[in-house]
Amino acid sequence: MAYMISDECISCGACEADCPVSCISAGDSKYVIDAGTCIDCGTCASVCPVGAPQPE
């Protein structure tokens, strides 16, 4: 199951920098996760200051 980034995202980029498979990128108003590449490791959720990445 992949993670998704909620609307609480503040576009700080912490999750993108720490993703081990580089599946996170900047979207129009928040960062987005490519569900096909996400390995469900939870690293993004552990570094996010607002808890925006959540399991789908």
Domain boundaries, the chain: 3-55
Residue (of 14, 1, 2) closest to 51 by Cα position: 14
pLDDT at 39: 97
Whether 1 has a pLDDT exceeding 90, the answer reads no
3-55: CATH number: 3.30.70.20
For the stretch 4-45, pLDDT in tens is 999 999 999 999 999 999 999 999 999 999 999 999 999 999
